[in-house]
Amino acid sequence: MVARFAPAVLALLHLAVSAGAEMVAQRSATSGGAAERAGGAAVPGRQGRLTTAPLPGLIRGIAVPAGVGLLFQTLFNIVDSFWAGFISTAALTALGAAFPVFFMIIVLSVGIGAAAQALIANRLGADDEEGARLLLGQALFSTLVAGFFVALYGLAAAEPLLRFLGTSGESLEAGRAYLVPILLFGVVFLLNQGLNGWLTAQGDSKSYRNALAFGCALNVGLDPLFMFGVPALGIPGFGVAGIAAATILIQFLQLGYLLHRAKLSPLGLRLAGRDIVPDPAILRDFLRQAVPVTISIGSTGFGLFCITWFMGRHGEVAIAAYGIGLRIEQLAMLPMIGLHTAALSIIGQNHGAGLSARVRLAARLVVTYGIGVMSLGVVLVWPLRETLMRIFSDDPAVIELGAAYLAVAVLNFNAYALLLLGGAVLQGMRQPNIAMAVALFRHVFGPLVVLYLLDPVMGFGLPGIYWGIVGIAWIGAVVTVVFLQRRLRDLRG
């Protein structure tokens, strides 16, 4: 198994070193800008590019670094699964079952980060830099509040939810050892996403990519160190809890780097304590965007939770296979995350500037790029599905079930592109409620009604679950496209 991963690990380290070199170059390039600001000279903001530069180049310039960054994040998770496999299948099952519970952090971080990015971009497009800073302050306040509740959630709900998902014995203990520390320090994850929203709204998606690359490279070494310790020196390992410890340490290091980058950004990070105190009017504006986005992402977590529960009815092997299959889907979806990031910033700034024709063109471009890339993903994943499953597991039952899931899941790839990118365009236009309604249909109504009918009631089993997911996704995609076309037509100019 180690031999199979060696080339991938070497490539990962090479990419991370390349990103590290760019971090040094960024620091060198921006130190002059920082000195210039200190001397009182005006520094032109980067955000002007997003309303004037050619759109294809802008989209690539934001989407590619963002997509590469999420590649490192996904590889980070894959490294966790790889090392967990050295402990036991129960440890792999624990990580698979933990994902829907951990998803609460993803929900809040993406909700707060995406809302901040879209609203700040709109303010920058309208040349309201002070309003952008005030929005950042309210986003950070929301982050601190959310972090407090995530910690409570970790203490109170982690174990009951893992039990509900069908884990027990060794799998339950491993899941709890991983989840509780992660959730207690969830505020650090949230702060990183908030700072990323501030940077990306200005057109900088490279800083977050570099932070993720650095963290991924560290994780390759820190995971085994914290899991197994150094027996020759009498240093004990922490097992699955070591994976959590490595993750938390890396998040703190990334926070320090992103704070540094935010201070050197064109808008800086000039926030006083009073800026983080709740401002009712600005906070209300922020929450009108953040709450629908958070509910949309949260419903995704609820849907994953329900799907994992249905998988659990067919044994822990089905949970492990679905968990690995989900990670492979995430790899295929990485370009969509990059395009989503580009759409939020570009659509947001151009919408704020009142450039309707440019908003329409940007929307057409990101959706077209998304369909093209995900079609390529179908061509690559479908014939390689068994090979991809073997990378992560030697268990024949896990490989068989995972390959069967991926054979059907590839039919969702283009639906996911329409859902994700259509939702990003609507968010950039400050209309997140449509995406929220579609998400609630897909992730609440779908699992609770459609999958329930197909599996327990009608007895179609795992194939019924797989095909039910496909049908629900395509219904949501069609509805998203219809509403998106209407909203784009309604724009003036």
pLDDT tens readout for residues 408-467:
999 999 999 999 999 999 988 888 888 899 999 988 888 888 888 888 888 888 888 889
Over residues 140-153, the mean pLDDT reads 85
CA 460 vs CA 66, 130, 138, 166, 405: distances in Å: 39, 57, 48, 20, 14
Q: Name residue 61's amino acid.
A: G
Query: Between 209 and 268, where is the model more confident?
Result: 209
Q: Which of 401, 443, 134 is nearest to 275 (CA)?
A: 134
- For residues 20 and 213, give the distance between their C-alpha atoms in angstroms, rounded to a whole number: 8
Q: What are phi and psi of 230, to 5 degrees?
A: -130, 85
pTM: 0.74
Is 309 a residue whose pLDDT tops 70?
yes
Domain span at residue 213 reads 2-29+57-490
- For residues 219 and 253, give the distance between their C-alpha atoms in angstroms, rounded to a whole number: 12
What is the DSSP-derived secondary structure letter of residue 268? T
Is 373 a residue whose pLDDT tops 70?
yes
- Identify the weakest region by mean pLDDT among 56-70, 100-114, 385-399, 455-469: 100-114
Provide the 3-class DSSP secondary structure of residue 348.
Answer: helix
In-domain check, residue 40? no
In-domain check, residue 51? no
Is 353 a residue whose pLDDT tops 70?
yes
In-domain check, residue 44? no
In-domain check, residue 485? yes
In-domain check, residue 50? no
pLDDT tens readout for residues 157-203:
777 878 877 777 777 888 888 888 888 898 898 899 888 888 888 88
The residues, ordered by sequence, that sit 6+ positions from 445 with a Cβ below 8 Å of its Cβ are: none
Which pLDDT score, from 0 to 100, does residue 105 have?
76
- For residues 132 and 135, give the distance between their C-alpha atoms in angstroms, rounded to a whole number: 5
Q: Name residue 146's amino acid.
A: A
Which pLDDT score, from 0 to 100, does residue 14 have?
43
Is 371 a residue whose pLDDT tops 50?
yes
In-domain check, residue 379? yes
Query: Between 20 and 149, where is the model more confident?
Result: 149
In-domain check, residue 383? yes
Average of per-residue pLDDT values in the chain = 81
Structure token digits, residue 168: 């027990």
Q: Name residue 56's amino acid.
A: P
Total number of domains in the chain: 1
In-domain check, residue 43? no
Over residues 113-131, the mean pLDDT reads 84
Which pLDDT score, from 0 to 100, does residue 100 have?
67
